[in-house]
């Protein structure tokens, strides 16, 4: 098992003939993801260098391939339209890589696409190691195992996963939920899935300043998954108030969204917070030992 994505997921790429779309479609395909085609209006009938069929519309792609997942690489003004199109065509899960989507577009899309899970926008995607990768993550740092990872950023996730893999902790699924103020899938929603995933035996959460997603997930952990070893990290302890740091959503507003508030919430929920990414594997090992639950390292 894993969450959101596995061997059977059939993936299309919206924007597959663009520079980013074609590059990452090739990488996903090379990773072993079941990429079944892509969509670029006006280029239907063509094939990619890997031989993947290109369609004019998502509904055509779904009808021809049975696609269940879509990875969206389109410029910000068109991202909402691409998500609506995916929803109308019956896609079950859409990953929106695009950065710079107007926040009202995301609000409206999230409110009108019930039944379709959206990861992002402004995210690196997700990977169920050994099974499939959808997005722009570097496949080689991941290793199949039992740790579920949720993060708001890209490269920091790779850093943390690399440390986990080197320490012998493989991963079940890693989800980059995205750095925007409003996102389709929150930490809590990921944990609801991880909670029911038999492969996942432990969790690592990488939060950052802004919003209340970390506070919310801390409360969820205390109530629903208190028996699972969890370690958290919170980036941006040195952030100034009122200014976004890189991610549009990474912003401290008055007393809200500070790293301190998030760290406090995790600690109150009994979740140890790493002072730096390099401390995460050791903290996880001691949480696992403390609970007496074996976390087989990459036993799949």
Partner 1 sequence: MNLMEHQGKTLFRDAGIPVPRSHHARTPEEVGSFIDATPGAWVVKAQVLMGGRGKAGKIKLAGDASQGRAVAEEILATPMPPNRQNPHGEPIRSVLVEERLAIAHEAYCAITVDRAARKPVLIVSRFGGMDIEEVAERHPESLAKFYVDTAIGYSPFIGRELAYRAGLDAGYHRAFPAIAGALYDLFFRYGAKLVEINPLALTEDGRVVASDAKVELDDDALHRHPELSEWRGALPLDEDEILATGAGVGIRNFRRFPGNVGTMANGAGLAMATMDAVSNAGGHIANFLDVGGGANAQRVRNCYELVVNNTGATVFFVNIFGGITRGDEVARGIVDAMRQTTSRKIPLVIRLTGTNEAEGRRILAEAGMTPVETMDEGARKAVELAS
Give the residues lining the site for partner 1 (CB under 8 A).
27, 76-77, 100-108, 110-112, 136-138, 141, 151-159, 162, 179, 181-182, 186, 206, 208-213, 216, 233, 235-250, 254-255, 275-278
Q: Are strands 125-128 and 54-55 parallel, antiparallel or unpaired?
A: unpaired
Q: Report the C-alpha gap between 24 and 49 in whole angstroms.
A: 12
Q: How far is the CB of 165 from partner 1 (least distance, A)?
A: 12
Q: Which two tokens stand for residue 173?
A: 């699924």
29 is catalytic: no
Q: How far is the CB of 189 from partner 1 (least distance, A)?
A: 11
Q: Are strands 171-176 and 202-208 parallel, antiparallel or unpaired?
A: unpaired
Q: Which is nearer to partner 1, 89 or 209 (CB)?
A: 209
SS3 at position 8: coil
Q: How far is the CB of 200 from partner 1 (least distance, A)?
A: 22
Q: How far is the CB of 133 from partner 1 (least distance, A)?
A: 12
C-beta separation of 24 from 13 below 8 A = yes
> What is 102-163 written as a DSSP string?
-HHHHHHHHHH-TTSEEE-SS--EEEETTTEEEES--GGG--EEEEEEEES-SHHHHHHHHH
Name the catalytic one among 24, 29, 69, 247. Answer: 247
Mention every residue, 6+ apart, whose C-beta is less than 8 A from residue 201.
146, 147, 228, 229, 293, 294, 295, 296
Q: Which is nearer to partner 1, 27 or 291 (CB)?
A: 27
Q: Which is nearer to partner 1, 67 or 248 (CB)?
A: 248
Q: Which is nearer to partner 1, 58 or 141 (CB)?
A: 141
User: Of the candidates 265, 260, 269, which has an alpha carbon nearest to the alpha carbon of residue 221?
Assistant: 269
Length in residues, the chain? 300
* CB burial of residue 58 (10 Å; 0-12, 13-18, 19+): buried
Q: How far is the CB of 125 from partner 1 (least distance, A)?
A: 12
Q: Report the C-alpha gap between 111 and 251 in whole angstroms.
A: 23
Q: Which is nearer to partner 1, 75 or 296 (CB)?
A: 75
Q: Catalytic residue numbers?
A: 247
């Amino acid at each position: 098992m894993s969450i959101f994505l596995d061997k059977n997921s059939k993936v299309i790429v919206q924007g597959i003939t663009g520079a980013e779309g074609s590059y990452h479609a090739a990488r996903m395909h090379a990773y072993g993801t079941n990429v079944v085609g892509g969509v670029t209006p006006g280029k239907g009938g063509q094939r990619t260098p890997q031989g993947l069929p290109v369609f004019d519309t998502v509904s055509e792609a779904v009808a021809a391939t049975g696609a269940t997942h879509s990875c969206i690489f389109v410029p910000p003004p068109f991202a909402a339209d691409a998500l609506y199109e995916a929803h109308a065509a019956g896609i079950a899960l859409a990953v929106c890589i695009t950065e710079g989507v107007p926040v009202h577009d995301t609000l409206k899309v999230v409110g009108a696409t019930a039944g379709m899970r959206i990861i992002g926008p402004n995210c690196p995607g997700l990977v169920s190691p050994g099974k499939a990768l959808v997005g722009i993550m570097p496949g080689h740092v991941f290793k199949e195992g039992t740790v579920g990872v949720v993060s708001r950023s890209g490269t920091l996730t790779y850093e943390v996963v690399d440390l986990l893999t080197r320490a012998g902790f493989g991963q079940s699924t890693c989800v980059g939920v995205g750095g925007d103020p409003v996102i389709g899938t929150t930490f809590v929603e990921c944990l609801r899935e991880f909670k029911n995933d038999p492969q996942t035996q432990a969790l690592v959460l990488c939060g950052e300043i802004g919003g209340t997603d970390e506070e919310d997930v801390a409360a969820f952990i205390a109530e629903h998954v208190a028996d699972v070893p969890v370690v958290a990290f919170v980036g941006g302890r040195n952030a100034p108030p009122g200014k976004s740091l890189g991610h549009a959503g990474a912003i401290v507003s008055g007393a809200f969204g500070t790293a301190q508030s998030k760290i406090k919430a995790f600690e109150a929920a009994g979740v140890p917070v790493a002072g730096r990414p390099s401390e995460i594997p050791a903290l996880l090992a001691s949480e696992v030992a403390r609970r007496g639950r074996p976390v087989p390292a990459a036993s799949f």
